[in-house]
Amino acid sequence: MIGERKYAPSPPERLFLNCPRCGLSIRQRRQWLAIESCPRCLGRSGIPVTLFVSTLPVGELYVDGLAPGDRLPGATPERRGTT
């Protein structure tokens, strides 16, 4: 057809897997690679914490000083990924 437009598919949304306990944020690259539990909480405390999906990383979801990882010992801006 004359004048028919072809649209490029929109790029997929960036999704992050966020931990509500420690504040770890993992960028999900493929849907089938998604993990359910936070590897940091499992490794450090042996506690299985379910990650939640968001379009924003933890550093952008919360007001400064109120992110989940801020309450854990040794949490500094450099270790949280926010500077």
> Can you tell me the distance from the alpha carbon of 64 to that of 28, in angstroms, rounded to the nearest whole number?
24
From the list 57, 5, 55, 15, the residue with the least C-alpha distance to 69 is 57
Is residue 69 in a domain? yes
Is residue 2 in a domain? no
Is residue 5 in a domain? no
Q: Determine contact, residues 40/23, Cβ cutoff 8 Å.
A: no
Is residue 81 in a domain? no
Is residue 1 in a domain? no
Mean pLDDT taken over the chain? 75
Is residue 8 in a domain? no
pLDDT tens digits, 32-63 = 777 999 999 999 999 999 999 999 888 787 76
pTM: 0.63
Q: Which domain holds residue 53?
A: 15-75
φ, ψ (nearest 5 deg) of residue 16 = -120, 140
Is residue 43 in a domain? yes
User: How many separate domains does the chain show?
Assistant: 1
> Can you tell me the distance from the alpha carbon of 13 to that of 33, in angstroms, rounded to the nearest whole number?
15
Is residue 41 in a domain? yes
Residues 6+ apart with CB under 8 A from 21: 38, 41, 47, 49, 68
